[in-house]
Amino acid sequence: MADDPEEGMLSWDESVFRDEHVFEIDYVPETFKHREGQMESLTYALRPAVRGSRPLNVTVRGPPGTGKTTAIQKLFDEVGAQTSDVRTIRVNCQVNSTRYSVFSRLFEGTFEYEPPSSGISFKKLFGQIAEKLVEEDDVLVVALDDVNYLFYENEASDALYSLLRAHEEYPGAKIGVIVVSSDPALDVLEELDSRVQSVFRPEDVYFPVYDQPEIVDILAERVDRGFHDGVISRDTLEYVADLTADSGDLRVGIDLLRRAGLNAEMRASRTVERQDVEDAYETSKYVNLSRSLSGLTDNERTLLEVIAHNDGDQAGDVYDEFHERTDLGYTRYSEIVNKLDQLDLIETEYADVDGRGRSRSLSLTYEKDAVLERLE
């Protein structure tokens, strides 16, 4: 973009963005930096599949925003470029959090159309997938992304058991599984049933949090591809990287760059300034909160809203209001409390209460206003 003599202002049909899609969360970069070792381990595990054999199973672990999903997408693209005899299907377990919905997604990926919405049993659904694999002599590689959501719903062991034991019921079926967890507190192997542990035996690939220099390097490439030349200075980029490092989530930085660019455009400015970043951070810092909320059911959202209005109250008191609004029993209520706790949306603290024995209080992890605003 040439310099504008009118105080560097954008005209109505100009943009600071060269390609705004570069700053979308689902954008897959052409070069995937600082994850060479992890990609080598994943490639090693899937190499047998390219040769027509069952691949090694893998657990992929690491906090949110550390490149796990991008690694899977890059890996699957590479496998697809080498052979058409390996089917690769990524299942978003935040959306598909039951065994049946996981296999519905696998059916769709196998046949390229959705299964009937009702009237088909799990056994028949599973059978059609397996028979198709055997008939075409294909290898299936399933990535259960955000597998922690299957654990929250107590569906993980059943889903994995069906996948890992498929060859026993359908000889010739070759299926490998990559489980991807973003919950640092979850020990995948420890939480699985013994019947699954005995056949899973995965390779382990860990994705650590990016450090500040790595964040600068990754975001600089996004800036080069996504903004026009000279839109953001090195100092401002490093400020974005500092905020990103504090959050521990690369997605915060990517979202921050996009929102800061939009803020600059609102000012009709050709450059992104520090104030644009500071203003954008008030929204971008809640990227993980927004993502967690997007996967909640209506009842789970209702409970979180009740907790927000009764922050710090005892679980029994919170239940009374929740029951009044949903008519759900205490067992289901307790399961939802545990899920919200595992998602780090709330904190539970046990204490002795006079006349009531030992009870737990429920508190929000995030600011009340931020939660309620995103629940609307």
195 with 158: CB under 8 angstroms? Answer: no
What are the pLDDT digits (tens) for 13-32?
799 999 999 999 889 998 99
**Residue list, annotated binding site:** 66-70, 210, 222
Please tell me the predicted confidence (pLDDT) of residue 256.
98
**Residue list, annotated binding site for ATP:** 66-70, 210, 222
pLDDT band per the 50, 70, 90 thresholds, residue 99: very high
What are the pLDDT digits (tens) for 180-219?
999 989 999 999 999 999 999 999 999 999 999 999 999 9
Q: pTM of the prediction? A: 0.90
Q: Which domains does the chain have, with CATH numbers?
A: 36-206 (3.40.50.300), 210-285 (1.10.8.60), 296-375 (1.10.10.10)
86 with 138: CB under 8 angstroms? Answer: yes
Percent of the chain whose pLDDT exceeds 90: 89
Residues 57-76 have a mean pLDDT of 96
- Residues 142, 162: Cα–Cα separation, whole Å: 12
Residue 347 makes CB contacts below 8 A (sequence gap 6+) with 341, 362, 363, 364, 365
Residue 118 makes CB contacts below 8 A (sequence gap 6+) with none
Please tell me the predicted confidence (pLDDT) of residue 360.
86
Q: What are the distances in angstroms from CA 323 to CA 119, 205, 297, 300, 333?
A: 32, 42, 16, 12, 8
Q: Is the pLDDT of residue 222 over 50?
A: yes
Q: Is the pLDDT of residue 359 over 90?
A: no
Please tell me the predicted confidence (pLDDT) of residue 35.
97
